[in-house]
Chains A and B, each alone.
Chain A
Amino acid sequence: MSVPWKIRFAQHILGVNGGAYWPMHPDSQLDHPNRVLLGRKSWPGIEPRCYVSAMMGIIIGDGVRISREVGLISGNHDPALLTSFVASIPQIIGNHCIIEEGCTILPGVELAEHCIVTRGSVVTRSCLEPRSILTGNPARVVGRHDRPAPAIAPDAPHGYVAARDFADFARRNLRHQYLGRFGEAIAASGGGA
């Protein structure tokens, strides 16, 4: 996967979504990029019109395919006072998940590995069963699949950050307190380097 030059130009020259450490389309919207823990070969918001709202932290695994108009919403508005947010646990999207067009993943949801969320679904509850297919509004598990996932090289970069640098990058730059147990793991590994 190479990054299109238009995306590079928008992010690195114009500064549109320039705070993201992974490639992102200029028509996608992003909040709090330093509360996103990204795996290898997954670029949320590379398709247009996505919304990555990492107010309460998002953890994305390796090889997650995220299509256009997808919302990864990690912080709920307080319904009584919309300018404030309700604290919640971070959203976790497992390795090799496929999130199709127009889906919305709501706060506190954890998706297991290899899940497929079909078009226009709203995932309101966690799905801890690997290889599930989720459909509907609200999403229900409608089946299983055994589609093979492409292998990911161990040296594949995390967005723009090379794999060998990522542990150091995450320890220095990400907001660990929003990343749950992953944040604790990052902070605990911080002795060396």
Chain B
Amino acid sequence: MSRLLNMQLSWPATLLQRLRLLFEAHYHRLTGRRFFVDTADTEVRIDFRMWFWQTIMRRNAGAYWAVHPSTRVRGARFTVIGPETSPGWSVGCDIDGRGGLYVGDYTQVAPNVRLRSVPEDTEPPAVPTDFSIHIGAYGLIAMNATVGPGVRLGDFTIVGANSVVEESFPEGYCVIAGNPARVIERLDPAACERWQRPGAYVGYTPLAAIAALRGRAIDPQLFDRVWGAR
């Protein structure tokens, strides 16, 4: 087999990949939207497969950010995300924003993370007035973690693998892990770097054009809580 010589895709897959790259590189000529090329080098690059399942097959179509076809997003209208973060970009996540969900700037979400903003056996509110889960900027939610309703996590909070977060850690700058989650390490706030990417994207939308999402993809009241204050 060709696999013996070098680790490469099989020839049909190579052909399809070429076509995909061609599509991504020239998509903006057709539509004027540059998200494929502009997010190519970022942490949450939008790839053809995610775009295809969301836009063409309408799976998780309400989400205005790129999610993997194996994740489930509910309540995308009540979910507000910051630039360059995509809850559900990794495989197998369950993102429930029906009770109001905020994920801060540049926060990374690992595979199989469950963000449950609605308590068990309660009906979600028709229109939530506040965020049930508020995750700060520059955080990391590691694999298989669960974040329960009413949780506030500050900036630079790192949630360890397989942890269940049911309490708030609003001060940030910590590593929390375990079931239930406890602080296992404090980070030095002076060492933490608040980097910014020029021309960042909020999902499929450039940060500069974020106002277009108000009312169309995001609930206006929750939108103003985050983006009105900036």
Contacts and interface: CB of A to CB of B under 8 A. Distances in A.
A104 B113 CA distance: 13
Given A80-B193, A120-B162, A161-B4, A104 B9 contact: no
Nearest to A81: B193
Contacts of A58: none
Q: How large is the interface on B (under 10, 10 to 19, 20 to 34, 35 or more residues)?
A: 35 or more
B60 interface: no
Interface residues of A, number: 42
Given A15-B14, A122-B162, A82 B4 contact: no
B6 A173 contact: yes
Interface in B1-35: 1, 3-7, 9-10, 12-14, 16-17
Contacts of B161: 71, 73, 104, 106, 122
B110 A79 contact: no
A69 B70 contact: no
Given A27-B70, A51-B90, A79-B158, A165 B187 contact: no
B156 to A, nearest CB: 7
Nearest to A29: B91
A69 B69 CA distance: 16
A49 B4 contact: no
Contacts of B3: 21, 160-161, 169
A121 interface: yes
Given A81-B193, A169-B4, A51 B10 contact: no
A34 interface: yes
A29 B89 CA distance: 11
A160 B187 contact: no
Interface string A1-31: 0000000000111111011010000011100
B49 interface: yes
A16 B111 contact: no
Interface in A57-116: 69, 71, 73, 77, 79-83, 102-104, 106
Nearest to B9: A18
B17 A15 contact: yes
Contact of A18 (B10, B158, B191): B10
Interface in A133-163: 137-138, 160-161
A16 B16 CA distance: 11
A106 B163 CA distance: 13
B140 interface: yes
Interface of A: 11-16, 18-19, 21, 27-29, 33-34, 48-49, 51, 69, 71, 73, 77, 79-83, 102-104, 106, 120-122, 137-138, 160-161, 165, 168-169, 172-173
Interface of B: 1, 3-7, 9-10, 12-14, 16-17, 43, 49, 68-70, 90-92, 106, 108, 110-112, 138, 140, 142-144, 156, 158, 160-163, 175, 177-179, 187-188, 191-193, 195
8 closest A-B pairs by beta carbon, nearest first, are: A15-B13, A49-B92, A104-B161, A27-B70, A71-B143, A12-B10, A51-B111, A18-B9
